Amino acid sequence: MSPDFDELVGDDLAAAERERLERVHALLVAAGLPPELPPRLASPPPPPQAPVIPFPRRYRTAAAGVAAVLAVALLGTGYVIGRGTTPEEAFALPMTGAGGAKAELVVFAKDAAGNWPMELTVSGLEPLPAGSVYELWLTKHGELTESCGTFSVSAAETEVPLNAPYRLRDYDGWVVVEHGSTNPVLRTAAI
């Protein structure tokens, strides 16, 4: 027995909506009840199991040995290649300061992006309090113009990689100051 349409929808529908729902109701009644679900589909089938292919024990040690030799070979190759990528030195400048502080600024050849990689080796500078750093600046007519990076010192000698993305010929010297100060603690004679 089919359900009564008026009992399902009530009276408060617009005429067009009531007509549309009556057509749908008639089609559903004509289609009849859906078939029963077969018992084999009442619960899902178990997931398929992949076959496990055992790796013979006699090859495990050999495979581990080959992997170790390969890892050492790759590490050695990377080390040799990595050592050969040091940029060519363009020039080196000594820096001097009060109290026997000194440094050497090595500027390497300009890289493809137009930057001048540098390494500053500093000795004799006092370690600063926590949160304070030294800063390397390019100067023009004795004035600080462009920063090349900050660094801290903690040992008798400290090596710091820095970078100068500027046209060096536009400047006439380098100084090291405490960050936030303009008083040089180290300086070059000139570029």
User: In the chain, which residue ranges form alpha helices assigned H by DSSP?
Assistant: 5-9, 15-31, 57-83
Is residue 154 over pLDDT 90? no
110-150 pLDDT, tens digit per residue, is 888 888 999 999 998 888 888 899 999 999 988 999 999 99
CA dihedral over 41, 43, 44, 49, signed as positive or negative: negative
* Partner residues linked to 89 by β-bridges: 108
2-24 pLDDT, tens digit per residue, is 678 878 887 788 889 989 999 99
28-71 pLDDT, tens digit per residue, is 888 888 788 788 777 888 888 888 887 677 777 777 888 888 88
Are the C-beta atoms of residues 185 and 151 closer than 8 Å to each other? Answer: no
Instruction: Catalogue all structural domains in the chain, each as residue range(s) with its CATH number.
Output: 1-46 (no CATH), 89-187 (2.60.40)
What gap in Å lies between CA 169 and CA 187, rounded to an integer? 17
